[in-house]
């Protein structure tokens, strides 16, 4: 059974075929990466504000918004959740300092 992120990924992919007038997600795809990145920046700021000023429930709400828009970006860029999970699995058990250093050498 799929989890909610896999289900959402499928729906976001389907929205590529919708018109911008009928789908918020389709309108973001049509505007391109810069508009999606703007939304991610806005949602990131809202997460920060929620953590600093608003409390747990609002943090959950804002993080969900941020994840949603990150997933829109991933579908726009043709990157799957499986690819992100594979990268996280590759890093599992590796010191963050060592992992970062390995990227800097490339």
**pLDDT tens readout for residues 19-56:** 999 899 999 999 999 999 999 999 999 999 999 999 99
Query: What is the homologous superfamily of the domain 4-76 according to CATH?
Result: MazG-like (1.10.287.1080)
Rg, Å, the chain Cα set? 16
Percent of the chain scoring above 90 in pLDDT: 78
Give me the residue spans of the domains in the chain.
4-76
Cα gap 105→88, rounded to integer Å: 19
The predicted structure's pLDDT at residue 2: 63
pTM of the model: 0.85
The predicted structure's pLDDT at residue 32: 95
Whether the CB-CB separation of 64 and 46 falls below 8 Å is answered with: no
């Amino acid at each position: 059974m799929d989890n909610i992120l896999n289900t959402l990924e499928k729906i976001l992919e389907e929205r590529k075929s919708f018109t911008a007038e009928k789908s918020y997600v389709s309108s973001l795809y049509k505007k391109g990466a810069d508009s999606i990145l703007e939304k991610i920046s806005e949602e990131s700021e809202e997460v920060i504000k929620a953590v600093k000023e608003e409390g747990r429930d609002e943090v959950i709400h804002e993080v969900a918004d941020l994840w949603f828009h990150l997933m829109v970006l991933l579908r726009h860029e043709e990157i799957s959740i499986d690819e992100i999970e594979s990268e996280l699995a590759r890093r599992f058990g590796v010191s963050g300092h060592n992992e970062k250093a390995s990227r800097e050498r490339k």
